[in-house]
Structure 1
């Protein structure tokens, strides 16, 4: 008798804005994945909103049993950057739901403690997917230096590979929001690490025709996505945004690229294997990810920087997430 294949075990760390919501929905729709927990970090929106937004996503996906933990609400140095102009003040497009679950549904334990506990319990089997600032991960490795060794692998949406920014001239939001945390994670995490950068996301954008069909599929989940994305779409479809984007117009769901790679590695068609670090001191470049392509840093741990996406496979994962 053949046994069903073992499910991939996921721990998802988010600063739940619109694209984090999309990434969570993608993971929950994947039959090969078991989401063990979701941890929250301040970022796109303040931490209370992040927690409430995750609960709202779990409700729409009918998965209220997945535990949600509250993590770090400020970056390591406490210098806040929010993205409320893009994601809405509440992080989900400012379209509140009166029947959404309340903050009392958040677990009592701290997210960082639980990350260590879950990784210890499932040592060698756990994929960690981080789609927000990396503050919780940095705190976890400081509290338990063996934490990265317990992970099967790590997937990050963040950073950049060509010094192209979306928050500062050279900085991507998640890394700029906590450069020290990003530096610590890229330095101290020795597990296989895969990074979906800002440029990778922009190069793998979907057409607006595809987006319009996707959000109009008529399901409850598609309606939810359409509603929460309406605010940011006014910005994304404007001429200013098209000028800022890499390679023209289209829909970019940044966090979904990291999640797709975690679900199915074959969605990544090429990658650069290189040591990485983060600039902490530059006047214009603080928070910028640095690719050490000439091995100047002599770092033993290298990461895989995604540099190509199988768009047909990616579209299927996106479509399944709203069915």
Structure 2
């Protein structure tokens, strides 16, 4: 089987960390770089978080690039939130990544993205786990960029007008609606989308989460630590948006996009249709609309996942934390 080349664009919060570890553990996958964008925290915190995750996954040699600090329109202060704590990883780590600036190249994330894809035309899969600002800037700098990609996977958007940032907008798209609009209009490469509702409707059990975080491995202990004080990983908190609409369960949002990327068999059902992101209105700004009847007159369609094989998703998540035995660099078959 040929090697799959990935660039992961992330606003590294807790679920991004889980998804990145999944990509690192996947067979026949090589992560070329991780590009950072604001979102779950400031881009500086995101860079440190990614470095920490790569260290836990024993892949510190993968380059990490600092990217967009805020949305295309407005300021960072208007959108940053503390969903996963102020640092993005639950505010529980005793120390940040030491001398992290020395680990980050001076090349901007967008430039690195353009360069790596140009060096490997039609071979690179781009996985976007945060606001799509870096991708929108990339296509404006080089309109031929999407055509050089093999494919694009996105965690973001919604299918039914149910949001978690606003009543109608999902977090990643709502943080930079203009960027999401540009990407879904101008990226004509094969595009696959794991929406908020898709993740929520395919939640795993809390019993599985407890098993996932009780293994004697560094990744398992790391995930247990960063989720220890986060209300989004509490079985007792049942009043959150996703629980009201979909019921309780463990949802590692970004892992739904990465799992589909590394194993297409994870996706059980999907729909293919044109989509568009709404930019107007205080209620609907950032909401994604699926056009199943052709009213948008768009020729380009995206694949929107609707149902997954949860046992395959669980297997990939478990593989991501069992990859190494505790205290040794020995891979577990």
**Do they superpose with TM above 0.5?**
yes
Question: 1:94-143: per-residue Cα shift (whole Å, max 9, x none)?
Answer: 12243734232111100001111111111111100000000000000000
SS in 2 for 1:133: coil
Q: 2:201 aligns with which of 189, 200, 203?
A: 203
**Is the 2:156–2:171 Cα contact (8 Å) retained in structure 1?**
yes
Q: 2:186 aligns with which of 153, 169, 188?
A: 188
C-alpha separation in 2, matches of 1:74 and 1:288:
19
Listed as ranges, the matches of 1:64-83 within 5 Å are 64-79=60-75, 80-83=78-81
Q: 1:31 aligns with which of 23, 27, 32?
A: 27
C-alpha separation in 1, matches of 2:256 and 2:81:
19
**Is the 2:259–2:316 Cα contact (8 Å) retained in structure 1?**
yes
Name the CA shift for 1:30/1:235 in 2 (closer, same or farther; >3 Å): closer
Q: 1:44 aligns with which of 40, 45, 48?
A: 40
C-alpha separation in 1, matches of 2:242 and 2:268:
27
CA deviation after TM superposition for structure 1 residue 236, in Å: 4.2
Aligned residues: 318
Listed as ranges, the matches of 1:248-267 within 5 Å are 248-267=247-266
User: What's the C-alpha RMSD, in Å, of the aligned pairs?
Assistant: 1.3
Name the CA shift for 1:294/1:117 in 2 (closer, same or farther; >3 Å): same
C-alpha separation in 2, matches of 1:29 and 1:245:
33
Q: 1:61 aligns with which of 40, 57, 79?
A: 57
SS in 2 for 1:230: coil
Q: After superposing the two structures, state which structure 1 stretch, 75-84 or 221-230, moved more.
A: 75-84
C-alpha separation in 2, matches of 1:107 and 1:113:
11
SS in 1 for 2:276: strand
Q: After superposing the two structures, state which structure 1 stretch, 229-238 or 247-256, moved more.
A: 229-238
Equivalence for 1:89: 86
SS in 1 for 2:230: helix
Equivalence for 1:105: 103
C-alpha separation in 1, matches of 2:231 and 2:132:
26
CA deviation after TM superposition for structure 1 residue 246, in Å: 3.5
CA deviation after TM superposition for structure 1 residue 59, in Å: 0.8
Equivalence for 1:226: 224
TM-score by length of 1: 0.96
CA deviation after TM superposition for structure 1 residue 269, in Å: 0.7
C-alpha separation in 1, matches of 2:96 and 2:131:
29
Name the CA shift for 1:41/1:251 in 2 (closer, same or farther; >3 Å): same
Equivalence for 2:294: 295
Structure 1 regions of 5+ residues with no counterpart?
none
SS in 2 for 1:127: strand
C-alpha separation in 2, matches of 1:239 and 1:20:
22
C-alpha separation in 2, matches of 1:243 and 1:18:
17
**Is the 1:40–1:47 Cα contact (8 Å) retained in structure 2?**
yes
SS in 1 for 2:22: helix
Name the CA shift for 1:174/1:236 in 2 (closer, same or farther; >3 Å): farther
CA deviation after TM superposition for structure 1 residue 319, in Å: 0.2
**Is the 2:133–2:179 Cα contact (8 Å) retained in structure 1?**
yes
**Is the 2:181–2:276 Cα contact (8 Å) retained in structure 1?**
yes
C-alpha separation in 1, matches of 2:101 and 2:224:
24
Equivalence for 1:151: 149
Q: 2:171 aligns with which of 170, 173, 179?
A: 173
